[in-house]
Amino acid sequence: MAELTFTYGTMAAGKSTLALQLCWQLRQGRGDVALWTFGDRSDDGMVTSRIGIEARAEAIEPGSDLGPHVEQLRERHVHILVIDEAQFASVEQIDALARVVDDLGIDVHAFGLSADFLLNLFPGSARLFAISDWSHELPLTSTCWCGQKGRCNARVVNGIVAREGSQFFTGDVNEGVVHYQVLCRPHYRSGQLGNEV
């Protein structure tokens, strides 16, 4: 029986690195492993990791029809599908992935964030929690600047922790200088981003 596996974690916890490592290990000696991403950081059909490794991936538009991509899996006789940035997949796309597992017998390993910067589950991740055969938290965790385990992916806009905004940041320049920082719960709540007061 093929299985649907969801591996989740915070930002900078090594999700992409682990997805790439799994893909590389599986590809030793076999050509039936595919790599997809729902959020292409390099914008070039690549999965890239913060530690500098990368691999060519099929970039899937969030919310799009997976039909043509699934057809390619069948044509290429893929048996294992590794997916990065699965949190950006829509609920319908996750359900389509479940059919890939159940009807085509393809093992799917999905990697993604669980929650957004407001600490709400991404719809795709919530669906994965609901229907995956296995859900694992990444063994590596990110730490807050204070040294505590970081649970919260804070969106920082012009130096301030954002308390509202779109789940899917579009890169609108009007929003100012934006970055993401992993914080522990108390520092997410207080909005303190470092030692300096």
Interface segment toward Zn ion; rule CB under 5 A; list 1-9, 31-39, 132-140, 145-153: 145-153
Residue 15, both tokens: 């999700």
**Smallest distance from Zn ion to CB 15, Å:** 21
> Is 47 or 162 the residue whose CB approaches Zn ion more closely?
162
Terminal alpha carbon distance of the chain: 55
Q: Please tell me whether residue 146 binds Zn ion under the rule CB under 5 A.
A: yes
Number of Cβ within a 10 Å radius of residue 16: 24
Q: Which of 61, 85, 164, 196 is the catalytic position?
A: 85
Interface segment toward Zn ion; rule CB under 5 A; list 25-33, 67-75, 146-154, 174-182: 146-154
Q: Which string of DSSP letters, residue by residue, matches 62-94?
A: TTS--HHHHHHHHHTT--EEEEESGGGS-HHHH
Tell me the C-alpha distance between 183 and 142, whole Å: 8
> Is 21 or 143 the residue whose CB approaches Zn ion more closely?
143
Residues 165-184 that bind Zn ion (CB under 5 A): 184
Nearest Cα to Cα of residue 189 among 124, 106, 119, 126: 119
> Is 64 or 143 the residue whose CB approaches Zn ion more closely?
143
Centroid of chain to Cα 186 = 24
Q: Fill in the per-residue mask, 100 to 119: x = in contact with Zn ion (CB under 5 A), - = not in contact.
A: --------------------
Tell me the C-alpha distance between 187 and 169, whole Å: 22
Q: Please tell me whether residue 148 binds Zn ion under the rule CB under 5 A.
A: yes
Annotated active-site residue 164? The verdict is no
Q: Please tell me whether residue 187 binds Zn ion under the rule CB under 5 A.
A: yes
**Smallest distance from Zn ion to CB 13, Å:** 16
Q: Please tell me whether residue 144 binds Zn ion under the rule CB under 5 A.
A: yes
18 CB contacts (<8 Å, ≥6 apart)? 7, 111, 138, 140
**Smallest distance from Zn ion to CB 18, Å:** 24
Residues that bind Zn ion in the complex, under the rule CB under 5 A = 144, 146, 148, 184, 187
Catalytic residues: 85
